[in-house]
A and B are shown apart, each in its own frame.
Chain A
Amino acid sequence: MTIQRHHDMGGQDAGPVEPTEHDYALWEKKVDAIIRLLNKTDPQLLRVDEMRRGIEELGPGVYDDLNYYERWISSATNILIEKGVLNIDELGAKMAEVEARWQADRDTA
């Protein structure tokens, strides 16, 4: 049995490449900084190989729907949950808090 994992798509027909210039959004720069910092901790909290593995394990639908840095932060989050660095309940509560703050800012803007 041959298993071709979804990310391993070299050689498949993908249509033309459309190169576009774009600036990085602030949140993308933050993701990049977070990943670099997690690499520098002692002991290392996140190795690049672990992050790649986590991206591969996002699954075909999610993998295609997320953009580059969304894949990075999704993978890093899952790995940190696996390692017990992040607790799911704390993360859920914090995400709800941030979303509520963002919504409030929008409503007053």
Chain B
Amino acid sequence: MIRSGVPDGALIECWSRQPAWAGYDKTVHELSIALSILEVAEEEMQRRGNVAVEAIYLKVGPLSGVVKEALLSAYELAREQTPFACSRLVIEDMPIVIFCSRCGTERPARSVQELRCAQCDAPADQIIHGRELQLAALELAE
């Protein structure tokens, strides 16, 4: 169990007083996210016969609420004393893709602040991609 050592029902700290976190805003929740990543990765690893995991591949959208740099730092802390202590975390940034009814097709959005069609500037009707927080793949040692 990845969370072993944490008393049952205890809350995982969002920020830490450890020096490694000293420069961070006190409102990061990426440590919780990092622990969830390891939890899902461990389940997948066990399903595959506990083969050592060299890398965890993650897809992160700009609307997921996760900051990449904070997550990478949090992961460094979270993986200690777990089967993933030597596993890399590889984050792929996903674009925001919207459905534009004026163009009648999927288009990239201008930015996270401007959810408008990058092509014709119409407001987004629907967000197709950009909310992802997905464990996409594992790289296993063989």
- A-B complex is real: no
- Tell me the A residues contacting B by CB distance below 8 Å: none
